[in-house]
């Protein structure tokens, strides 16, 4: 029986100088692991960052972008503060300040961002750590940065890298 087993092993390994060097092991890393680490950092921290979703304008776009932004930051365990939407940029900015959130995410359509950014950044700049636009309005990025927007999040954003940076900046 041992001889038969030896013969089978030899036939399987025939042609390999050292089978251990030829056989590749499977990678057992879980893709969610880095995100779980981010969440644990937040749970262990004395500060759980708050994210205020400042929703404005076109209902479909603001809801879509608020949903994206909520999921983007919630994966790290940040507290998400949502709302039904604001009629004016000023009302949204006041509610954002009242929330004491470290991050305010503007959620609207690309077309409405021009007015929204112009309306809220003078009221929030210097009082909120991060003013973020949900979306990638490529024609306005430099203009918005000059007005005080600190970041843009979209499907093109490296979520893990971005959230790691936020954790470094916000956690105590």
Residue with tokens 């995100």: 35
Strands 103-107 and 79-81: unpaired
44 in a domain, yes or no? Answer: yes
24 in a domain, yes or no? Answer: no
Question: For the domain that residue 161 is a member of, what is the CATH number?
Answer: 3.40.50.280
Task: Assess whether pLDDT exceeds 70 at residue 18.
Answer: no
What integer pLDDT is reported at residue 29 of this predicted model? 78
**Full DSSP string of 146-160:** HHT--EEESTTS-HH
16 in a domain, yes or no? Answer: no
What integer pLDDT is reported at residue 3 of this predicted model? 75
19 in a domain, yes or no? Answer: no
What integer pLDDT is reported at residue 14 of this predicted model? 60
143 in a domain, yes or no? Answer: yes
12 in a domain, yes or no? Answer: no
What integer pLDDT is reported at residue 57 of this predicted model? 96
Residue with tokens 């430099």: 142
Task: Assess whether pLDDT exceeds 90 at residue 21.
Answer: no
What integer pLDDT is reported at residue 1 of this predicted model? 66
121 in a domain, yes or no? Answer: yes
Structural domain of residue 106, as residue ranges?
Answer: 31-170
pLDDT in tens, 108-118: 999 999 999 99
Q: Which helix (H) or strand (E) holds 134?
A: strand 130-134
Task: Tell me the pTM.
Answer: 0.83
- Report residue 37 as tokens: 């680490």
**pLDDT average, residue stretch 47-53:** 96
17 in a domain, yes or no? Answer: no
Q: pLDDT band for position 30 (50/70/90)?
A: confident
Q: Which helix (H) or strand (E) holds 63?
A: helix 59-74
SS3 103: strand
pLDDT in tens, 2-13: 777 776 666 666
In angstroms, the CA 45 to CA 168 distance is: 11
**pLDDT average, residue stretch 72-96:** 97
SS3 80: strand
pLDDT in tens, 97-107: 999 999 999 99
**pLDDT average, residue stretch 138-156:** 97
Counting the structural domains of the chain, the total is 1
Which whole-number Å values give the CA distances from 46 to 11, 29, 40, 42, 51, in the listed order? 61, 29, 12, 8, 16
Phi, psi of 134 (to 5 degrees): -85, 105
What integer pLDDT is reported at residue 26 of this predicted model? 73
Average pLDDT, the chain: 91
Selected residue with higher pLDDT from 172 and 112: 112
């Amino acid at each position: 029986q041992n001889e038969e087993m030896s013969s089978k092993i030899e036939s399987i390994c025939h042609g390999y100088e050292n089978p251990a060097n030829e056989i590749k092991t499977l990678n057992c890393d879980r893709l969610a692991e880095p995100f779980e680490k981010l969440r644990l950092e937040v749970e262990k921290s004395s500060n759980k960052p708050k994210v205020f979703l400042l929703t404005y304008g076109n209902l479909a776009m603001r809801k879509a972008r608020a949903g994206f932004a909520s999921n983007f930051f919630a994966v790290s365990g940040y507290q998400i503060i949502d709302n039904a939407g604001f009629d004016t940029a000023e009302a949204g900015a006041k509610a954002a300040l009242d929330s004491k959130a470290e991050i305010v995410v503007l959620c609207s359509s690309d077309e409405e961002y021009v007015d929204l950014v112009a309306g809220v950044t003078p009221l929030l700049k210097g009082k909120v750590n991060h003013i973020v636009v949900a979306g990638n309005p490529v024609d306005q990025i430099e203009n918005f940065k000059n007005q005080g927007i600190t970041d843009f999040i979209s499907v093109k954003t490296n979520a893990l890298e971005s959230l790691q940076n936020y954790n470094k900046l916000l956690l105590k």
